Amino acid sequence: MRKLLFFHATWCGPCKVYDREIITPLENQVGTEHIERIDAWKEPWREEKYHVERLPTVVLLDGATVKLNYTGTIDIDKVVKWLQERGDAID
């Protein structure tokens, strides 16, 4: 199953905006089973595992394979298509 990991911190202002503007709309389109929110301060070992250097960061997983590790705005429509397994590539 494809999944989006959203690395954030409760104190991070940009993370709150990203959650509201990107992550919540994604959840509304693909369902919560495709999105996992990870508080980087509570789970630093996961931050290290996925090479997260800044917050907010999204990591797209296809099973156990990392397809994208990205800080910045993502194209919601492309991510929805990819998470629903209708797209092969994600940029």
Band of pLDDT at residue 3, cut at 50, 70 and 90: very high
The rounded mean pLDDT for the chain is 92
User: Which CATH number applies to 2-83?
Assistant: 3.40.30.10
Which tokens sit at 17?
A: 């905006």
From CA 53, how far away is CA 50, in angstroms rounded?
9
pLDDT of residue 47: 93
Residue 6: strand pairing partners: 37, 58
CA dist list (Å): 77 to 30, 38, 60, 87: 11, 22, 14, 11
pLDDT(36) > 90: yes
pLDDT(73) > 90: no
Which run of H or of E encompasses 37?
Answer: strand 35-39
pLDDT tens per residue, range 45-60? 999 999 999 999 999 9
Of 91 and 38, more confident: 38
Report CA 72 to chain centroid distance, whole Å. Answer: 11
pLDDT of residue 57: 96
